[in-house]
Amino acid sequence: MTVEVIAVGTFAVGVAGGFLLRRSSQTRNASREEPPDRETRQPADDRFDALVRALPLGVVMLNRDLRVRFANRAAAAIFGFERSRARGAHLIAAVPSIELEQRAQDALGGKSATTPLIVSGKSVNRSYAVSVYPLASSSDEDDAAPSPPHGVLIVAEDQTELLKLERARQEFLTNVSHELRTPLSSIKLMLETVTEAGDEEARRMFLPQVLGQVDRLTTLVQRLLEQAKAESGEMVLQISEIDLEEVARPIVASFQPQAVAAEVNLEMRTLRPAVIEADEHRLSQIFVNLIDNALRYTPEGGSVTVTIDVEDGHAVMSVTDTGIGIPYKDIPFVFERFYVVDRSRTRGSERSGGAGLGLSIVKQIAEAHGGNVAVKSTLGRGATFTVRIPVVAVQP
């Protein structure tokens, strides 16, 4: 596999690298005067070694032959080698990267490198900020003829999670821009038509559509606010005793016009009555998001079924569709915020996959009630989303 090594976070890595370079130079100079055995080591040296070993940054020191003199635990974890086997081994054996080896060679000539780098990994894709520095033989800046570097210092920091968040942010901006642009463009076009036509027929034809697009924008903004509240810990539950059927039935009825227009059969079934302690408004959001999601991905002639049941002390709410299903590779991620299954699989821009917030909000609400949400799907044969919430409210 490929492991992407990048220069994100180079400042932090560079600061750490500079400190290690200075301290390594001081330690080497001191070693010229004292034998490097344990009895004569200074306490400061021991503390420095302990610090390097404990650093979350990966630190690898090479000699002039590019053989590993030292590697801390973080470096072993980052580059995937065993420290005992790596010690004394050539860099290319510990980290199989020709370009990293070349940069280490350049460092022996006095050239530092912090630019992006690609390194082959052994198991999973990881992203790192990597810096390569020459280890100076002397710390005396006034030396007119300094000696060549006596080795190489490599400092690496795992940036995988940071880049994951950055990609999510970029995808979010792209998705939200798409979701905002489409209805705004439609509203602008329809209002221009009404203005230019100036007759009652144009108003009757386009104003309801304008209101529909405004509702779509309102829903998107509301979902963004709900997601922000959930992630900031501000989702406060107003617990009361509610009947799930009474909550779900008007919501299902409100989606009937959309289902009829899409030629999809929408129905509701109550297998066993479910009276639970929960937040009625939040559970309404669960039904709205799951039904809306099912209708988006169900083609003409298909069906969407909302089922309510009670099982093992939990209220069970499920929404089953006969739609296009979810690819196996996407199933583990559908509840992540901003994650959107391929837009090309939906029926046109009006039924696009949204901004990737609906299912994430469902998950947040279910977990806030002490429950969970799960999905089962077969590509081309539909999907079933199931939410389980304890009948008795979980005490805060």
pLDDT tens-digit map of 181-231: 667 777 777 777 777 777 777 777 777 877 777 776 776 677 666 666 665
DSSP structural state of residue 332: G
SS (H, E, C) 79-139: HCCCHHHHCCCEHHHHCCCHHHHHHHHHHHCCCCECCCEEEECCCCCCEEEEEEEEECCCC
Q: Are residues 135 and 207 in the same domain?
A: no
Classify residue 61: in a domain, yes or no: yes
22-59 pLDDT per residue, tens:
555 544 444 444 444 444 555 555 665 676 776 778 88
Q: What is the largest CA-CA distance in the chain?
A: 98
Strand order in 383-390's β-sheet?
265-270, 303-311, 314-321, 383-390, 372-377
Alpha helices (H) along 262-317: 280-296
- The C-alpha atoms of residue 119 and residue 125 are separated, in whole angstroms, by 10
**What CA–CA distances, in Å, run from 330 to 294, 334, 341, 377?**
16, 6, 7, 10
Average pLDDT over residues 325-340: 83
User: Over the chain, what is the mean pLDDT?
Assistant: 77
Residue 168's domain spans which residues? 164-390
Q: b/e per residue, 26-63, with b = 16+ CB within 10 A?
A: ebbeeeeeeeeeeeebeeebeebeeebeebebbbbbbe
Q: In angstroms, what is the C-alpha Rg of the chain?
A: 30
* 145 and 200 share one domain: no
Question: Looking at the domain assignment, is residue 396 inside a domain?
Answer: no
Evaluate if residue 263 carries a pLDDT over 60: yes
End-of-domain residue from the set 139, 158, 177: 158
Residue 210's CB is within 10 A of a number of other CB atoms, namely 18
> Are residue 228 and residue 142 in the same domain, yes or no?
no
Domain end call among 115, 134, 158: 158
**pTM for this model (two decimals):** 0.52
Query: Which CATH number fits the domain that encloses residue 352?
Result: 3.30.565.10
Indicate if the pLDDT at residue 352 is higher than 60: no
What's the confidence (pLDDT) of residue 32? 44
Does pLDDT of 385 surpass 70?
yes
User: What would the mean pLDDT of 164-188 be, rounded to a whole number?
Assistant: 70
- E strands of the chain, at which residues? 2-6, 58-63, 68-71, 117-120, 127-135, 151-158, 239-243, 265-270, 275-279, 303-311, 314-321, 372-377, 383-390
| Cβ contact 66:105 at 8 Å | yes
Residue 129: CATH number of its domain: 3.30.450.20
pLDDT confidence bin for 286, thresholds 50/70/90: very high
pLDDT over 90 (residue 376): yes
Q: How many domains does the chain have?
A: 2
Alpha carbon distances (Å) from 143 to 16, 28, 30, 98, 177? 25, 16, 17, 33, 58
Residue for token pair 């929960």: 278
Query: Does residue 7 carry a pLDDT above 50?
Result: no
Select from 107, 139, 158 the last residue of a domain.
Answer: 158
| Cα–Cα distance for residue pair 389/364, rounded to 1 Å | 12
